């Protein structure tokens, strides 16, 4: 239990560790995903509570920093799987609700954002 409490403390920003370097393109892609949520009109559900995009993005940035330090989020797909899909405390799936669209699992929302970013970079 003590190790879990320490991990949660670190994850939630109790200590600001120096993050390991992710490849620049992966890091930029992950930051673009976090920014997409921060600037969206969507709401983000975490452990039964809804948050605006900016607050949710700040939480995901802390999770990303935690994972980067441990070399566990080197790609956008790993970030989605390990940080943006579910609570590391409760295991409950995160949800996203955007105006005029059905509520969905955050993993699906972030995958859609990632595909849109890649299409945009490819010029299609």
pLDDT score, position 23: 74
pLDDT digits (tens, 9 = 90+) for 32-53: 999 999 999 999 999 999 999 9
Residues 56, 21: Cα–Cα separation, whole Å: 23
pLDDT score, position 24: 82
pLDDT score, position 17: 39
Is the backbone of residue 92 left (phi > 0), alpha (psi -120 to 50) or beta?
A: beta
Q: Mean pLDDT for each consecutive 10-residue tract of the chain (124 residues)?
A: 45 42 82 98 97 98 96 96 97 98 98 96 84
Backbone angles phi, psi at 90, to 5 degrees: -95, -20
pLDDT score, position 22: 53
In terms of Cβ atoms closer than 10 Å to its own Cβ (0-12, 13-18, 19+), residue 4 is exposed
- Token couple for 115: 């595909």
Does the pTM of the predicted model rise above 0.85? no
């Amino acid at each position: 239990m003590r190790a879990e409490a320490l991990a949660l403390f670190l994850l939630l920003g109790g200590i600001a560790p120096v993050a390991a370097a992710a490849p620049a393109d992966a890091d930029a892609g992950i930051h673009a995903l976090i920014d997409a949520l921060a600037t969206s009109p969507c709401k983000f559900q975490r452990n039964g509570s809804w948050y605006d995009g900016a607050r949710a993005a700040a939480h995901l940035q802390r999770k990303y920093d935690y994972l980067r330090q441990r070399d566990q989020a080197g790609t956008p797909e790993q970030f989605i799987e390990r940080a943006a899909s579910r609570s590391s405390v409760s295991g409950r799936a995160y949800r996203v609700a955007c105006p005029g669209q059905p509520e969905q699992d955050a993993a699906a929302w972030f995958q859609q954002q990632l595909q849109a970013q890649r299409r945009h970079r490819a010029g299609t």
